């Protein structure tokens, strides 16, 4: 999908929206890491549920990694600059 401005939203509104989303992601990543760590510790001490807890721990960790990757400011800046070119904006 080609990046373009959403109809009816100003550039300033989009920037504010993205900044808010990035702040939420920044707060979420450490929490997800802590949850994954605690689940991993529980898995080590609970043989009966080790497989399930270990699997959930890995999934939570993967979600944190994906959010971190998606919040790469440099990539977002490059994308934003590409959208700002006159032939892309409408």
- pLDDT score at 3: 47
User: Which residue, 61, 63, 67, is CA-closest to 25?
Assistant: 67
Position 27 confidence tier, pLDDT thresholds 50, 70, 90 = very high
Position 2 confidence tier, pLDDT thresholds 50, 70, 90 = very low
> Average pLDDT, stretch 24-28?
93
- pLDDT score at 40: 92
| Distance from C-alpha of 76 to C-alpha of 33, rounded to nearest angstrom | 23
Whole-model pTM?
A: 0.69
Place of tokens 């900044």: 19
Pick the residue with more confidence: 79 or 31?
Answer: 31
| Distance from C-alpha of 70 to C-alpha of 24, rounded to nearest angstrom | 12
Sequence spans of domains, the chain: 28-78
């Amino acid at each position: 999908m080609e990046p373009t401005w959403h109809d009816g939203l100003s550039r300033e509104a989009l920037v504010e929206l993205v900044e808010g989303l990035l702040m939420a992601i920044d707060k979420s990543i450490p929490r997800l890491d802590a949850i994954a760590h605690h689940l991993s510790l529980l898995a080590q001490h609970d043989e009966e549920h080790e497989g399930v807890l270990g699997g959930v721990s890995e999934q939570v960790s993967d979600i944190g990694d994906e959010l971190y990757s998606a919040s790469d400011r440099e990539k977002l800046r490059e994308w934003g600059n590409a959208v700002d070119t006159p032939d892309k904006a409408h």
